[in-house]
Each structure stands twice: as C-alpha cells, then as structure tokens.
Chains A and B, each alone.
Chain A
Amino acid sequence: MAKLTNFKRALWVFHVPTGSCNGCDIEIIAALTPRYDLERFGIKLVGTPRHADVLLVTGCVVRSMADKLKRIYEQTPDPKAVIVVGNCGATGGVFYDSYNVAGPVDEIIPVDVYVPGCPPRPEAIIDAVVKAWLKLEKLERGEQ
C-alpha cells in the first residue's frame, strides 16, 4: 500500500465565508501580510476547495448558505481538517436569537479546531492552523 506523504509538504487553505461581519476575514488576510507572514511556512490561500487541505470557516451559518457549506465540505478531498474562526461559528456569538441562522457550524459539518475571539488575533489563527496540521499527522500515523 502506498504511503501517504501529503503532510510532508505545506498545507493549502481555503476560506469559506458564511454570513459573517468580516472582522475575522480581514484578520485571516492580515495573517498573510509581511508582519505575520504565513507564507514562510508554505501555507497559502487557494481558489478552490478541490485543492485544499484545510477549510477555514467564518461566520454564523445563514439559512441560504447551509447547503452550500455541506457541498464544499464534500468537495474537499480526504484527509482534511476544518477550523472554525471566531465566536459566531462556535456558539452563535452576538446573533443568538435570530430567525435566519441555521445554527453554529458544528451542527452542519464536523469541526476539528475552534479559535475563540471576536475577532481572534492573527497569531491565534496561525496557532490553530499548526494544531490542525499536527492533528492530521497524528491521524495519518494512527491509521497505519
């Protein structure tokens, strides 16, 4: 059986906005700028979920985005990890009693890492991506 060697190279990340206020999205892009510089680890943002290893989901899930989120999760190839950035995706945040929210993200797709904060700092987001990396490597070793 061929050995999986994906995680000996760097992670590619796809960002999914599902109805957020944009604070977390701006901090994700700020993590790529020269001060925090994710690209020195080889992590880069890709344009389609079919190339991605990690999904970064932001925002409380609005009703019309719920089925699109499920389809993106199914389009991402295995092995994959899902990271939820911000308070809105974890528990609803400030929008806890609305008529158009389909629930926090873990009622729709399974989640691996949560990053709390409103919005979390770019250093916290980098920490979360590294933790997801270690978890994926452990899963790969555990299966073999």
Chain B
Amino acid sequence: MNERHSFACSIPIGPVHPALKEPIRVVIDVEGERVVNVDIKRGFAHRGIEFMGMKRNAIQVIPLAERICGICSISHPYAFVKAVENAADIYPAERGQYIRTIIAELERIHSHILWLGVAAHEMGFDSLLYLTWKGREKVLDILEYLTGNRINYSMQMFGGARRDLDEKKIRALRDMISYYRIFNAKQKEIFLKDPTYRLRTRGVGILTKEIALQRCAVGPTARAAGIRLDVRQDQPFDAYADFGVKAIVPEDYEDEYYGDVYDVTLVRLYEIDQSLDIIEFCIDNLPNGPILSIPKMIQILMHIKKNGKEAVGRYEAPRGEVFHYVKFENSDVPKVWKVRAPSYSNINVWEDILLGAEIADVPVAIAYIDPCLCCNDRIAVVRKEGKVLPWEKIVEECVRKTNRIRREIG
C-alpha cells in the first residue's frame, strides 16, 4: 500500500479559488492522471448560526435563517416555520399555505437554472452560462414584483404568509409560465441532445444506489442514482398534499441510466417542468380568506410562550432535504435549534465519485452535487509533500478535454 502512494502528488484546491465561489479545501492525491485519495476540510464559512439563534426570540430567528444561504433562501425559513407551527400548535391559513408554495416553487426554478449555467461553465461552455442566466432574469423580476427583493424575500411567518397576491400579479405569473415552457423546451434540446455534452458527461462521476444509501445522500443526487426519495411525496404538506407530487428518476425517461452527471442534468430539467405545473395548480385553486391565522405578532409570541414544545420540520430544497429541530420551554426564545442542510451529507459523496476519475473531470464531479457550502453552516486539510498544481491548470485541462472531444466528433 505504501509503495503505491509514494509516487502520488497532492493537489490542494485551497479556500480561495476562482472556480468555486465559496471557501472549501479539497486535497486530492493523483498518480499520473487518476485520483487515488480525497480529503475535505470544511469550516471556512462557520458563523455560529445555531448559537446566535438560541439568544433571539422566535420571530427574530427568521431573518437569521434566511441568510444561511442566499440561493436557497426560502428553504430554511420554510422548514423553521413548519417546525414552530408543529411545536406550538398553530394552524396556518389556507390562502397563506398556497402563497408560500408558489414562492417556493419559483425559487426552485431559479436555482436549477443557476446550476445548469454553472455546470456548463465548469466544462468550458461559457456561452451557455450567459444564455441560461439571461433566462433566469425573468424569474427574478417576478419575485421582485411579488415580494420586493431579488434574493432574501421574507415571506414566511408563523400561520401563513406576509404579502398577498392580487389580479395584476396573477396575470404576470401566467405570462411567466408560458415564457418558461418555451425556454425550458429549448434548454432540454441544448443539454440533452447535444453530442458533445453527452460524451463529456456520460460515465463521469458515477454514483450507484448502494453507495448513495450508505452515505445518506438526499435530493437530486439520490434521485439520479435511482432512489425515489422526495419529502414533498413522502410527507406532503401545504399545497403539495393537494397536488400529489411524484419523485422524478431517470428510469422513467431514458432506457439506460448510470447515476452520472448526464442523469443529474435530466432530473433537474424535468423538475423545472414539474414546478411550472405546481404553480399553475396553485393559481387555479387559490382559496379565499385571510393570509395569516393570527394577525398580530405579539399574540404569536405569547402563544408560543404558552404552548411551545419540541417538534421537527422538513422541506425539499432544490438541493435536497432540509431538516430543522426546535424545542421551547416556557419562553419564546428557543432552547435548542438544530439545522441540517442537504450539502451536509451530500459532500461525503465526493470521496466516492472522485476516485478513479481523471484530473480533467474533477471540476465537473465537484459541481455534480450542487454544493452550497454556506448552507453547511460552518464550514478539511491533509498536507503532504509533493508537487503543487494551481487550480487554473485543472480548469484549463477540463476545457482542453472538451475541445478535444468536440474536434473528434467533427
């Protein structure tokens, strides 16, 4: 064992690098072109959020939970609000439940389009980055019209939502849905039918069902491996309970699947279609009535202080399952608050999919799980002797391989 590793060189992919936008340290040992060992250090984004949350009252924790992550900014407050509603026995108003679901599905669309652009950029298709991100601007315009901000829209409150929808906003939503059906059809043609993309991603970063189960992977990562796992299907809540969501797995759409990057792209593209269907269902069946079941905030805090116990809340974010556990004891300041983001367990999958891959495939495999390191909420190093290669060289290799494949197929 020792002789094999003595010829390996280590490549530290350090905290500040131009490809990933967040600080994390990954050290990979390579022999020739193949990767033999991976080590990860997290913790460069650790801000002590749970510690701070145990000093503020329940309503003040909601803006803190929103800023755990800027991309999945609805997911953490949604799970927290469901947990507190379960703990203090508050029933949310029906119109508020549907409005929360509409905003959550809009966020899923923008997050998946963001990932498609980033994955294309890692491979060297920069024009695809600009095309997909330009299409994403329409969702951000609608979100700004409905809530007031492009990112960090605070629409959640215990008992419902904070802002209402009227006729003009519903008409704008219907325009957006028809725009995105055409845009997504174009995207599916570009990503799934292009021969270069197919050759570049088939067989890269294969994740089998057994490994995904052992590492407790969640979200599209697990669905691409073939497990039909989705919180909106298994424990439905709010408007999902009326719609009936089915998890999307590649075997429904393709004949052969391996759990690689091509399958994960397919799962995300079809999830955008599913989100458009859910938004249409919610607009067509929007119930009438108030949006909040307890209108004044002081009354909500007094209710929590009297009845608060312990409870659990979950939600399916664009990257996987978000889990919050909260416990109150005669006060409106939570005694225990535990957050678990999807990238917490998905990062363990890197060790399995990077083994045996070539250096040029490392950026693509790292982007496979859609890492959101700030969601890790806190955010590994093995230092060995050896040659040190800078990250730009790795990205250059990745782009060179793409060009070589493109030239070969003519």
Contacts and interface: CB of A to CB of B under 8 A. Distances in A.
Q: Quick check: do A and B touch in the complex, using CB within 8 A?
A: yes
Interface of A: 15-27, 29-30, 33-35, 45-48, 59-60, 62, 64-65, 68, 72, 93-95, 97-101, 118-119, 121
Contact of A23 (B18, B48, B73, B129): B73
B341 to A, nearest CB: 12
A22 B52 contact: no
B150 A121 contact: yes
8 contacts: A17-B21, A20-B70, A21-B70, A23-B70, A33-B130, A60-B47, A64-B46, A119-B70
A93 B67 contact: yes
Given A97-B52, A98-B51, 18 more contacts: A19-B47, A20-B70, A21-B67, A22-B372, A25-B22, A26-B151, A33-B137, A34-B133, A62-B44, A62-B45, A62-B46, A68-B16, A94-B63, A94-B64, A95-B49, A100-B48, A118-B152, A119-B151
A68 B73 contact: no
Nearest to B379: A19
B43 A64 contact: yes
Interface string B43-75: 111111101100100000001100111110100
B164 interface: no
Contacts of B51: 98-99
Nearest to B71: A22
B251 interface: no
Q: Which 8 A-B pairs have the closest CB atoms?
A: A23-B70, A47-B18, A98-B48, A22-B70, A33-B133, A19-B45, A23-B151, A21-B70
B392 A22 contact: no
A21 B15 CA distance: 15
B114 interface: yes
Contacts of A24: 70
B392 A20 contact: no
A144 B342 CA distance: 55
B133 A21 contact: no
Contacts, number: 113
B374 interface: yes
Contacts of B68: 21
Given A19-B45, A119-B151, A95 B70 contact: no
B348 to A, nearest CB: 21
Nearest to A18: B23
B174 interface: no
Interface residues of B, number: 38
B306 interface: no
B134 interface: yes
Contacts of B151: 23, 26-27, 119
A20 B134 CA distance: 24
A118 B46 contact: no
Interface string B370-386: 00101000010000000
B116 to A, nearest CB: 13
B393 to A, nearest CB: 11
A95 B68 CA distance: 10
A29 B22 CA distance: 13
A17 B23 contact: yes
Contacts of A65: 15, 23, 44
Contact of B22 (A17, A30, A97): A17
A48 B391 CA distance: 10
B137 A19 contact: no
A93 B137 CA distance: 26
Contacts of B73: 23
A46 B392 CA distance: 11
Contacts of A60: 47
Contact of A26 (B44, B55, B70, B391): B70
Nearest to B72: A22
Contacts of A19: 23, 44-47, 374, 379
Contact of A17 (B16, B46, B52, B150): B16
Contacts of A118: 67, 152
Given A26-B151, A62-B45, A33 B134 contact: yes
Interface in B55-101: 55, 63-64, 67-71, 73
A25 B21 contact: yes
A48 B150 CA distance: 29
A22 B374 contact: yes
A121 B392 CA distance: 29
Contacts of A48: 18, 392
Nearest to A26: B70
A119 B70 CA distance: 9
Contacts of B47: 19, 60, 62, 95, 98, 100-101
B52 A98 contact: yes
B16 A16 contact: yes
Contacts of B55: 97
Nearest to B137: A35
Nearest to B372: A22
A31 to B, nearest CB: 11
Interface in B96-142: 114, 129-130, 133-134, 137
